Amino acid sequence: MKKSILISMFILIFAASSFAGVQWKARTVTQAEAKGQSNTIVQEIFAQGGNVKMVFETVANENEMYQKGSYWLFKAADSSFYLVNPTEKTYARLPMNAMVQMAGVVGKLVKIKIKNPVVNVEKLGTETVMGYPCQHSKMLMEYDMEVKIAIIKSKSHEKVEKETWSTPKFKGLEEMAESFRLRDFKTGMEDLDALVEQQMKAEADLGFPLKMITVNTSVGKKGVAKEKSRQVMEVLSLGNKNLPASFFEIPAGYTEKSIGFGAEEE
């Protein structure tokens, strides 16, 4: 399950810096076929100068990564995530380069081939969401995937459909570091990295998402389509706020603890 949590962490994440901070509250509802991935989370997110703080206000299904009252802290200076638990007064550090190494290890054990990738973005016009002019768009990404673990092989056709309402009038993305937005994140699996890069290029000019609906579907060898997950993210409120540097620091007296994604838990 821990590997699934790491993937979910990247999904929540939606997504060069100025010095006027921003904040927004968002609700993400995930319905997933895989055990342990369905959840409803409300977060208050703060970003300034590349630093990001994501506070979990409510979590329907808590686990090691998502706990009510805890927060994720990304510090641009050392390109690291910190999982901070104020109740326990503890924190765990997850350097981005360690995540890359982890992905590389997985890549040696699990061989993934991606063929016939297609990424299309259709712009559907302008709509108003929360008083902001938004570009309404739909992205369709499809590809054939072959996964090989030891002697076990599986093939499928994967489809990701994402409907987005995004605005250029809120500078939330500009306040996040490039590494936090995973723009320079590489797994070492060439096919997968190329697909992610292709997707990011297609969505580069859409702006800050106020609402996103993402559906992941897999079509097996017999042509049967199965919806693997459906995620709805909605921004509930947003605004500007100047934040002191101390806001992105771990409080004094907190103890570091280790956290790992070694074993797949049921």
Q: Which of 122-136, 166-180, 217-231, 249-263 has the highest mean pLDDT?
A: 122-136
Q: What are phi and psi of 259, to 5 degrees?
A: -145, 140
**Average pLDDT of the chain to the nearest whole number:** 80
**pLDDT of amino acid 213:** 97
**CA 254/CA 251 separation, integer angstroms:** 6
Q: Which residues contact 150 (CB under 8 A, 6 or more apart)?
A: none
pLDDT surpassing 60 at residue 210:
yes
Helices 2-12 and 96-109 cross at an angle (nearest 10°) of: 130
The percentage of the chain sitting over the pLDDT mark of 70, rounded to a whole number, equals: 77
Distance between CA atoms of 32 and 79, rounded to whole angstroms? 30
Look at residue 139 in the predicted model and tell me its pLDDT: 93
Between residues 122 and 262, which one has the greater pLDDT?
A: 122
In 3D space, the residue among 81, 119, 85 whose CA is nearest the CA of residue 98 turns out to be 81
2-256 has which CATH code?
A: 2.50.20.10
Question: What residue ranges do the domains of the chain occupy?
Answer: 2-256
Q: Which of 218, 208, 84 is nearest to 156 (CA)?
A: 218
pTM of the shown model: 0.77
Where residue 233 falls among pLDDT bands split at 50, 70, 90? very high
